[in-house]
């Protein structure tokens, strides 16, 4: 375990919360300016992979603030990564910030409010502090955050003109998972940016996975999952924090990156959720333990925290059973890291 004390982690959390709010003010002002001047966008991978001056502006605010205080820490940000030559997974064991300045850039372009500033901090490659600030939700923003530590915690705060309105601790024992899960679950899944069209493309298979999850029990050759609903918010960060907060049950996304999920995973893990690879391992037996996700693996399946159920099944047993049920309905997706 790292030699960071809870007091040090609290300082990092406080700094991340503070800079997330500064970045949120910047984005709200930016949206006001748009009433006069249309937002300029540039394409990265394709016409749905967009970057705006605000993405770069917010990343600079966050990076400069954090590195001024902690120059010895490493920093991985979506926009610096996209602009750079180095495309390997850069996370090492030392203290490292992983930041998405704006998750849900397409939403922001359309003024759809599912847009989040996502600030994660890893120790020994494990998401340890997470702050996700959605500046267009609630009065003046909603913040989900956590410190992963026995004396840490996870919180949800709504902001108003005078600051936070009663932060809510997120860890009150959440209910058991639905007894026949995935039946009855709320499922978050993203179509993502890989829009290639052929029978084996990621988009074709993702769509099949989502239809499997939604179809009635017995349908689709036994793959029907009859979930209560499928939600696609356009922000993997928001999908992850809703599941972390128990405001949904399952998050499934492949093709996104470590900065889309790092902060959300810190919050999810602190509340008692789990995250695994969204592809089923090829040779996993029923008795084998389920491996957790690789943060740089670009495929994530998260299950919310839960209490013991009426059959005496532990939270972990319910979560692992649900993971196996989702995997049964999942075609394997292929997202490589650029070399």
Q: Where is the binding site for Mg(2+), in residues? A: 78, 100, 102-103, 260
Give me the least distance between CB of 304 and Ca ion, in Å please: 21
How many H-runs (helices) and E-runs (strands) does the chain carry? 9, 14
Residue 235 contact among Ca ion, ligand IPD, none, beta carbon within 5 to 8 Å by kind: ligand IPD
Report the phi/psi class of residue 58: left, alpha or beta, with left for phi > 0 and alpha for psi in -120 to 50: alpha
Shortest spacing between CB 87 and Ca ion, in angstroms: 16
Write each residue from 252 to 281 as x if it is in contact with ligand IPD (CB under 6 A), else as -, in one continuous string: -x-xx---x---------------------
**Contacting residues for 41 by C-beta, under 8 A, at least 6 apart:** 50, 51, 52, 109
Between strands 250-254 and 186-189, the pairing is: parallel
234 binds, among ligand IPD, Ca ion, none (CB under 5 to 8 A by kind): ligand IPD
If one asks whether residue 209 binds ligand IPD (CB under 6 A), the answer comes out as no
User: Which residue in 155, 154, 157 sits closest to 139, CA to CA?
Assistant: 157
Out of 192, 224, 225, 273, name the contact with ligand IPD by CB under 6 A. Answer: 192
Closest separation between CB of residue 33 and ligand IPD, Å? 20
Asked whether 255 and 203 are in contact (CB, 8 A), the reply is no
Residues that bind Ca ion (CB under 5 A): 100, 103, 260
163-182 residues near ligand IPD, rule: CB under 6 A: none
Total residues at the site for ligand IPD (CB under 6 A)? 17
Strand order in the sheet with 229-231: 229-231, 186-189, 250-254, 299-303, 274-276
- For position 118 contacting ligand IPD by CB under 6 A, the verdict is no
Of 100 and 277, CB closest to ligand IPD: 100
* Cα Dmax for the chain: 61
- How many residues belong to the chain? 339
Contact residue for ligand IPD among 145, 212, 235, 319 (CB under 6 A): 235
Q: What is the β-pairing status of strands 299-303 and 274-276?
A: antiparallel
Q: What residues line the site for ligand IPD (CB under 6 A)?
A: 78, 100, 102-106, 190, 192-193, 234-236, 253, 255-256, 260
């Amino acid at each position: 375990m790292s030699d960071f004390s809870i007091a040090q982690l609290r300082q990092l959390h406080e700094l991340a919360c503070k800079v997330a709010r500064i970045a949120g003010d910047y984005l709200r002002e930016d949206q006001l300016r748009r009433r006069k001047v249309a937002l300029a966008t540039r394409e990265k991978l394709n016409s749905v992979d967009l970057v705006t001056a605000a993405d770069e502006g917010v990343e600079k605010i966050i990076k400069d603030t954090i590195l001024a205080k902690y120059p010895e820490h490493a920093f991985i940000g979506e926009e610096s990564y996209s602009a750079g030559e180095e495309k390997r997974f850069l996370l090492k064991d030392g203290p490292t910030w992983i930041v998405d300045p704006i998750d849900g850039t397409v939403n922001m372009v359309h003024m759809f409010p599912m847009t989040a500033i996502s600030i994660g901090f890893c120790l020994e490659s494990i998401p340890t502090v997470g702050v996700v600030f959605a500046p267009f939700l609630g009065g003046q923003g909603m913040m989900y955050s956590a410190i992963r530590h026995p004396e840490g915690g996870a919180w949800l705060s709504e902001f108003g003109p005078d600051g936070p309105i009663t932060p809510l601790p997120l860890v009150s024992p959440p209910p058991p998972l639905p007894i026949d899960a995935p039946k009855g679950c709320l499922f978050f899944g993203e179509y993502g940016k890989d829009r290639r069209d052929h029978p084996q493309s990621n988009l074709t298979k993702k769509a099949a996975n989502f239809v499997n999850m939604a179809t009635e029990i017995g349908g689709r050759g036994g793959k029907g999952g009859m979930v209560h609903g499928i939600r696609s918010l356009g922000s993997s960060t928001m999908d992850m924090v809703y599941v972390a907060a128990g405001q949904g049950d399952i998050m499934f996304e492949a093709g996104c990156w470590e900065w889309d999920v790092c902060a959300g995973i810190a919050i999810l893990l602190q509340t008692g959720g789990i995250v695994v690879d969204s592809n089923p391992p090829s040779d996993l037996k029923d008795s084998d333990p389920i491996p957790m996700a690789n943060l740089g693996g670009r495929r994530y399946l998260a299950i919310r925290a839960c209490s013991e159920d009426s059959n005496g099944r532990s939270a972990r047993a319910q979560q692992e059973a649900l993971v196996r049920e989702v995997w049964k309905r999942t075609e394997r997706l292929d997202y490589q890291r650029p070399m």
